[in-house]
Structure 1
């Protein structure tokens, strides 16, 4: 796309854009066929989503009171319209043990597959070869990573939930209007707390899964970009589901289609963050040429700079 640099007016802006780290990261993504990688991550994530939801519903049904179960169903109806009507909370309460056991076993199998797929995609972004190790040990390590990531996600969900609940409690106690200046500041603070929680999870994902050690500055910037982007995508999908998906021409397929799109966008965001951590600076790119003539990965990028 060097021809863009030679265009009048647009050329200087294009030259500046192509000199940025973001553009070099995109070039890496284009080189490794990132749309295919995102499609693989989307499929495994979508498959693992249903046993995860089933397990969460079974645990909630077995531990919450009747009033809390009704509140949970109302909350699900607000966040994911079209799904709550299909939930049989009473049936889950009666069969919570069986449902939880089956969902947990399925989640373990699909979750290990998700870890393996995501690791392979992130290593592809780094242009690293597949790991050669004992299959049993490989699966055991994937299970450990899955448990660790699940624990990290639970912590982030708890932090985000507590922050949102505190915002609502403070607004009610002080009698502030939701759209007022003070209310907006509190919501911004809750958003910042959620971003911090996502940031910590992304640090885990971007280093442990690909088995890479990127420079600290690149890692922090990539995780921060990903955390902000993830929260914005959450707001987007929540608004879309409430206002469009459940009422669209897709009918019953509106919500699953929206979930697929959201997972795909999230997967692409994670891949971009991985490319950011794997892409060297201008000095490294100029010294190594990014990729050698034989298609070998940039040694500086592969070793973390």
Structure 2
């Protein structure tokens, strides 16, 4: 398949803007590259750290970053953050409707009191009992909205990941594409639920196992249990990323690059989850600031996660500079990319 020239305009969030029409070798992009090249040449000439920087610029991670910079990854991450944040609201509404339907009278009163403590004045305006009574209607409406926004989210994510590979958009019947995106959404949703369930069960088993074995919560045994739970969650995320990095954009990277990228993404995603949960538990949920801090923290977390996913995609899309990779793939570095393009 023919390659498109790189740029964030591949992503649907930017498709409504007119193409500025700059050729690939325009003065604007050329001057930017020359400026960065001069800076890197200056850094490499510094005593002490110069050789380290020169070696860094020969690594696969640096070449992956250069690809990201070429396709304007900050704009791609912004588009992914926006569509993910919008799709999050109907998802939370569905979860709230399911949770509200399972609340008892005492739990409803407790929730009302907690809201009054955290955000004074909102308890009088928000009727928890009415929400529980209408949980079915709210859930159905939110589910329909979630399906609509979720299909759009799948399409946007696919196009942004294909932009990292510098591939053309698929020319396919829009109706069939929406049906396929709906199937991908269901499969991805099921995989995410399994991943979250695995992570939750692994975390819950830490306390249960510690109590059953009489292990101190602050001892080395508890630390080993937490590490085990973390590794289980990383394994679940790793399997999920194998799906996201291949089937979603419709590419076929080499096995070695795919495994490394999925491992980087899985570890990074779990670390970001720990960072977000630690912030919410330690700061946002204990003060009035939490009403504003949680959405901002969630938005930043989605943006960091989007950038991590783009970096993993760039890792799989960037040809490796070594004979070992050629032996694994059985051809030159360009061949896997062409095979991936034909598979998209």
Same fold (TM over 0.5): yes
Name the CA distance, whole Å, in 1 between partners of 2:135 and 2:287.
33
2:51 corresponds to:
12
1:200 corresponds to:
239
Name the CA distance, whole Å, in 1 between partners of 2:287 and 2:46.
43
Residue 91 of structure 1, CA deviation: 3.5
Name the CA distance, whole Å, in 2 between partners of 1:176 and 1:43.
44
Residue 165 of structure 1, CA deviation: 1.6
Q: Check the 8 A contact 1:119/1:209 in 2, yes or no.
A: yes
Q: Check the 8 A contact 1:126/1:302 in 2, yes or no.
A: no
Name the CA distance, whole Å, in 1 between partners of 2:294 and 2:200.
23
Q: Check the 8 A contact 2:284/2:291 in 1, yes or no.
A: no
1:237 corresponds to:
276
Matched, 1:303 2:344: no
Q: How does 1:174-253 map to 2 (within 5 A)?
A: 174-246=213-285, 252-253=291-292
Name the CA distance, whole Å, in 2 between partners of 1:121 and 1:174.
48
1:66 corresponds to:
104
Residue 299 of structure 1, CA deviation: 6.2
* Secondary structure of the corresponding residue to residue 217 of structure 2: coil
Q: Deviations over 1:250-291 (max 9, x none)?
A: 66321111110000000000000000000011159xx9xxxx
Which of 43, 56, 76 is the aligned partner of 2:82?
A: 43
* Secondary structure of the corresponding residue to residue 282 of structure 1: coil
Residue 6 of structure 1, CA deviation: 2.8
Name the CA distance, whole Å, in 2 between partners of 1:121 and 1:304.
16
Matched, 1:277 2:313: no
1:290 corresponds to:
none
**TM-score, normalisation: structure 2:** 0.76
1:133 corresponds to:
172
Name the CA distance, whole Å, in 2 between partners of 1:178 and 1:42.
37
Q: Check the 8 A contact 2:252/2:336 in 1, yes or no.
A: no
Q: Check the 8 A contact 2:253/2:336 in 1, yes or no.
A: no
1:94 corresponds to:
133
Residue 94 of structure 1, CA deviation: 1.4
Q: Check the 8 A contact 1:128/1:302 in 2, yes or no.
A: no
Name the CA distance, whole Å, in 1 between partners of 2:236 and 2:270.
10
Residue 248 of structure 1, CA deviation: 7.9
Provide the aligned length of Structure 1 versus Structure 2: 285
Q: Would the alpha carbon gap of residues 39 and 88 (structure 1) be closer, same or farther in structure 2, given more than 3 Å must change?
A: farther
Larger of the two Rg values belongs to structure: 2
Q: Would the alpha carbon gap of residues 73 and 230 (structure 1) be closer, same or farther in structure 2, given more than 3 Å must change?
A: farther
Computed over aligned residues only, the root mean square deviation of the Cα atoms, in angstroms, reads 2.8
Name the CA distance, whole Å, in 1 between partners of 2:93 and 2:201.
23
Gaps of 5+ in 1: 288-297
Q: Would the alpha carbon gap of residues 182 and 205 (structure 1) be closer, same or farther in structure 2, given more than 3 Å must change?
A: same
Name the CA distance, whole Å, in 1 between partners of 2:142 and 2:85.
15
Query: Greater CA deviation, 191-200 or 235-244?
Result: 235-244
Name the CA distance, whole Å, in 2 between partners of 1:105 and 1:7.
59
Residue 243 of structure 1, CA deviation: 2.6
Q: Deviations over 1:72-118 (max 9, x none)?
A: 969x99xxx87xx8786544431121011011001001111111111
Q: Would the alpha carbon gap of residues 125 and 69 (structure 1) be closer, same or farther in structure 2, given more than 3 Å must change?
A: farther
Residue 156 of structure 1, CA deviation: 0.8
2:21 corresponds to:
none
Name the CA distance, whole Å, in 2 between partners of 1:147 and 1:242.
31
* Secondary structure of the corresponding residue to residue 275 of structure 2: helix
